[in-house]
Amino acid sequence: MITDNRKYFDSSLKTAKAIYDKGLYEDCALYLRQLATFALYNITGYYVNWKFERLLLNLGQKIPPISPIKKESHTHHRLSILHIATELYDIGGHTKLLINWVKIDKDNLHTVILTRMTENKLSTKVKEEIDTNCNPIITLEGTILERAFQLKQIAQKYDLIILHIHPNDIIPTIAFSDPLFKTPVLFLNHADHIFWIGISIIDCLIQIRESNIILDKERRGANFQMFLPIPVDNTQKKEKSLNFVKEKGQVILLSTGSEYKYKPFGEHNFFEAAYKIVNTFENVIFFIAGVSPTCEFYQKYKHPRIICLGNVTNLKDYEEFCDIYVEGFPMASFTAMLQVSKRQKYIQLMYNPADGMKLFSDKQAYNLDYPKSFEEWFIQLSEVIESPKIRDEKMHKQYQYINQLYNLEKWKELLGDIYKSNKNRKHTVRNSVNFDKFYSSINELINATLLESSSKINHFNYCYKLNFFEKIKVVLRSRYKTKHVKVSKKQAMKFLFKRNELFI
């Protein structure tokens, strides 16, 4: 699957280059955006692709350079910070990270700009959060290249730029390829487990997982990284109790996460593991939030004491009510786990995780090391179910580490270090490496299984203005198509003999 996706991606880059060489720059941008979307949902084994980056950098040279402006001199010590996002939603970790950033960092001035979404599409809740803590939201208009030009013109007057963009957003890379642009560009790596665009224009990569720093030095060639953990409020208040009475001796387990994260893969089958736990311990009730009772993964392991809650609005009630939090697998939900830990609940980490699925580098002294097998996981979890004393002792060690790193004061301190290290930096465009690294380890196989989308792209989109000879090449490249690429003989004939038709 991964190799097939890579072959299609690589062959499509040749098509993108042909569109660029023809001088069809907007069509090239549209084609590259479509290809980036393909790579987002169809794992190619790449975390960065320099052929792709170079095409975007070249497109950046085809729009007018910025008209340099003199930055306003500050009469205060506050930094003006521009947060660039593609789209923002009511749910989703990247939106929450951006909003938390501007809410907590009140010492500086914040502005949010959206590259793809119009302001009227923002939910009232998100708009109110931003309006309360920022300058008015800015949106872009026009074609991709027009938006890229607008973005760099606006961005040059700020002290720092923070990218919170979707992995397939090509506009900032085109915009900040301008050699005259000097404002430092920082990238918040909220989608650290997959391919994304922009490594060539980043001056500092901000990691939210410490375990990812070594990985991205290898996978993306990122030698310019700083760590900024997910901020978790340490002033958690007691919530109202649930309409559920805990009987004496009962132990309540909780796991939370989007349903797709629990899809069985290889040695990891969360529902089979949960079934074995409740079958072994009659005093255990296991709540799973985010998973529907009709979930296909759950059906084989139905049990009256395994309760799938679906999406819940009162998750904090369950976090307060539980005795033990069980990290989901094969893909965890880090923020949810940290929130429960801050309520002083024991965390049972998953067993034998892929490197890209870890939040922590193993911290054995704090009981934050990952079991090496299901058997070891089962023994660890059994021990804390049976002994409240051992559970409490282990929890306090975990809490000691998590509370000292994942709290608001520590977050502010590390953010201050990031500002200090980057505010006087001059933006530079990175020179590309000579090869692109391809990976097909367990990390990529898990992503390919869990993130696979049912949506399809059309092989011929944005290629209609090519000459007949180049069109034949595009048709021949369709031999690399995957099940997520729409190609038919009828479409191929229309493509060869018609112009300017776009398939949806």
User: What is the rounded CA–CA span in Å between residue 50 and residue 452?
Assistant: 24
Residue 441 confidence (pLDDT)? 86
Nearest to 448 by CA among 483, 479, 486, 488: 483
- The yes-or-no verdict on residue 500 having pLDDT over 60 is no
pLDDT at 196 over 90: yes
For residue range 355-397, what is the model confidence (pLDDT) as tens digits? 888 888 778 899 999 999 999 999 999 999 999 999 999 999 9
What average pLDDT score do residues 53-59 get?
Answer: 97
Least confident of 124-138, 147-161, 216-230, 294-308: 124-138
Other CB atoms within a 10 A radius of the CB of residue 269 amount to 20
Q: How far apart are CA 385 and CA 497, in angstroms?
A: 69
Q: What is the pLDDT of residues 296-347, one digit of tens each?
A: 989 999 999 999 999 887 888 999 999 999 999 999 888 889 989 999 999 9
- Average pLDDT rounded to a whole number, residues 239-245: 67
Contact 261, 331 (CB under 8 A): yes
Token digits of residue 429: 């465009």
For range 228-235, the mean pLDDT: 76
Pairwise CA distance, residues 370 & 266, whole Å: 17
**pLDDT bracket for residue 504 (50, 70, 90):** very low
pLDDT of the residue at 327: 97
- Angle CA(392)–CA(397)–CA(400) in degrees, nearest 5? 120
Q: Given this chain, do its domains 80-229+412-422 and 251-406 carry the same CATH topology? A: yes
Beta bridge partners of 185: 161
**What mean pLDDT do residues 265-284 have?**
97
CB 139 within 8 Å of CB 118: yes
The label of the residue with tokens 């996981």 reads: 377
Q: In this predicted structure, what is the pLDDT of residue 123? A: 79
CATH architecture group of domain 251-406: 3-Layer(aba) Sandwich (3.40)
Percentage of the residues of the chain whose pLDDT score is greater than 90? 68
What is the arithmetic mean of pLDDT over 265-287? 97
Distance from C-alpha of 395 to C-alpha of 401, rounded to nearest angstrom: 10
Neighbours of 292 (CB within 10 A): 13
**Long-range CB contacts (within 8 A, 24+) of 416-425:** 417/226, 418/186, 418/204, 418/206, 418/226, 418/228, 419/79, 419/108, 419/160, 421/204, 421/226, 422/160, 422/184, 422/186, 422/203, 422/204, 423/79, 423/159, 423/160, 423/184, 425/184, 425/203, 425/204
Q: What local confidence, expressed as pLDDT, does residue 115 receive?
A: 96
Model confidence pLDDT, tens digit, residues 27-43: 999 999 999 999 999 99
Structure token pair of residue 221: 């060639």
pTM for this one?
0.88
Average pLDDT over residues 196-215: 93
CA 116 to chain centre: 17
Rounded CA-CA distance 328/254 in Å is 10
Alpha carbon distance 185, 198 (integer Å): 10
Confidence of residue 241 (pLDDT cuts 50, 70, 90): low
Report the sign of the C-alpha dihedral through residues 337, 341, 347, 349, in that order.
positive
> What's the chain's average pLDDT?
91
C-alpha span between 255 and 288 (Å, rounded): 5
Average pLDDT over residues 80-108: 88
Residue 176: the pLDDT is 98
Check pLDDT > 80 for residue 406: yes
Confidence of residue 245 (pLDDT cuts 50, 70, 90): confident
Q: CB atoms < 10 A from the CB of 119, how many?
A: 12
Q: Tell me the pLDDT band of 242, cut-offs 50, 70 and 90.
A: confident
> SS3 for 65?
coil
Please answer whether residues 236 and 399 qualify as being in contact, where contact means their C-beta atoms are separated by less than 8 angstroms. Answer: no
Instruction: Give the range with max mean pLDDT: 271-285, 311-325, 355-369, 453-467.
Output: 271-285
Q: Is the pLDDT of residue 74 over 70?
A: no
pLDDT band at 415 (very low <50, low <70, confident <90, very high): very high
* Average pLDDT score over residue span 449-469: 90
- pLDDT value of position 100: 87
Question: How many C-beta atoms lie closer than 10 Å to residue 456's C-beta?
Answer: 17
β-strands 185-188, 204-207: how paired? parallel
Enumerate the β-bridge partners of residue 188.
206
Classify 140 as helix, strand or coil.
coil
Q: What is the mean pLDDT of residues 480-494?
A: 92
The mean pLDDT of 401-416, rounded to a whole number, is 92
**Do residues 240 and 223 make contact, with C-beta atoms less than 8 angstroms apart?**
no
| Three-class SS state of 195 | coil
Domain 80-229+412-422 sits in CATH at 3.40.50.2000
Domain ranges of the chain: 2-46+438-497, 80-229+412-422, 251-406
3-state secondary structure of 16: helix
Confidence of residue 502 (pLDDT cuts 50, 70, 90): low
Residue 366 has a pLDDT of 94
Q: What's the pLDDT score for residue 328?
A: 96
Is the Cβ–Cβ distance between 46 and 6 less than 8 Å?
Answer: yes
